Chains A and B, each alone.
Chain A
């Protein structure tokens, strides 16, 4: 197929809302959004707690978390694969090559980002708010809701960063999902497969959606920081 035709076919897929195409986009979004949601529910309070807690080895924990932000997705995938494979500790659950396994792998990728950025945001806020919050009797765990709420715009950006990382990665979902057509095939794994098979139109169509998604994420992040600036 010549170059222009590939683009045309790709756009036709995107605009034509082809059911197979939409299913792939839908699964990708479902997996990634679920992973980000889980990472948020776990990571926001944990990051805030880490910001306020003082214990031996805290610095080491922070360094490890920061390092985990750069964890290669294939390694995260490999780890979940080992856990879920038939002989692994969680093998009996039979989750390997399911969307659930992909969500688990992406949670591992997103969680360190959420915890580390939350820790930083909340720690900065706490140093500013400490006197007042302690004055009105909010210390320790009781201060966390206030700090998370007042850090909401920075934290939204952290979640979007996590979403960006998860939606763009291919290694982890490929390993633990298995790229099974109609079941665990996401946008990124499809692009990998179709490109090697030569179905460039489908790959490119999905690429367009991914880029649009990235653009949308950045627009939302920009908007969040703009709204945040209104509260200075």
Chain B
């Protein structure tokens, strides 16, 4: 599966992104190397989603650049993204996965095999023929993750994947994510849910107003954040 040179580490280098004349992302630099789950933490409007979109290539930075390991450019990008609100095509559950595979240039028997494998892996086999948009919220997000997984990404971006889910569904998604990390997939996800960050993160990037305020191993960060902003955020105070 990992027969090609790795696209990691990902290097975000002095990236800025402007919108409405404001610097929504301001001189952001960090790296993501293989393994583990990195959480982008911060209050609403900190620029977490924008950062993920810039990394995934949905947005182009106005300044700076997003670089992958040498030789990782090309059609098969091997990084995938799951969005806050699952985007379900008006097709069956299985067809949603098959569509993503077709877009990645996978056809025929291999496509069928990989769709089935994703359905099985994420416990969706019983829903295979069901219309994707009629699944529950938690199942939809599970399908979105299965769909991304079927593309065999090295790095998976998730944008607040559980913010619209109830506690039970959230728990399930968190277990899935832990499983993906155990499987060797590198994860970069945003959340404003402190409990979730504590449960999942191996590393934390704390963002505030488009700037990277603090970067630390999760244990270190939660034991004692260095920056006043992060301390305030962890204490549950409003920070602007």
Residues on A facing B (Cβ under 8 Å):
128-129, 131-138, 142, 146, 149-150, 228, 230-232
Contact = CB atoms under 8 A, between A and B. Distances in A.
B54 to A, nearest CB: 13
B103 A232 contact: no
A132 B151 contact: no
B91 A129 contact: no
A132 B82 CA distance: 8
A198 to B, nearest CB: 53
Using C-beta atoms within 8 Å of the partner chain, give the interface range for chain B. Answer: 10 to 19
Given A136-B100, A136-B104, A231-B131, A146 B83 contact: no
Contact of B58 (A134, A142, A150): A134
B77 interface: yes
Contacts of B100: 136
B89 A150 contact: yes
Nearest to A232: B133
Interface in B40-84: 56, 58, 75, 77, 80-81, 83
B90 A137 contact: no
Contacts of A129: 87, 89
Nearest to A154: B90
Contact of B77 (A137, A228, A230): A137
A131 B58 contact: yes
A56 B133 CA distance: 36
Contact of A150 (B80, B90, B134): B90
Given A134-B58, A136-B100, A137-B104, A146 B89 contact: yes
B99 interface: yes
Given A134-B58, A146-B99, A232 B90 contact: yes
B83 A150 contact: no
Contacts of A142: 103
Contacts of B104: 136-137
Given A131-B58, A231-B131, A232-B131, A136 B103 contact: yes
Nearest to B76: A137
A150 B91 contact: yes
Interface string B179-205: 000000000000000000000000000
Interface string B130-168: 010110000000000000000100000000000000000
23 contacts: A128-B87, A131-B58, A131-B87, A132-B87, A133-B103, A135-B58, A136-B99, A136-B100, A136-B103, A136-B104, A136-B151, A137-B75, A137-B77, A137-B104, A142-B103, A146-B89, A228-B90, A230-B131, A230-B134, A231-B90, A231-B134, A232-B90, A232-B133
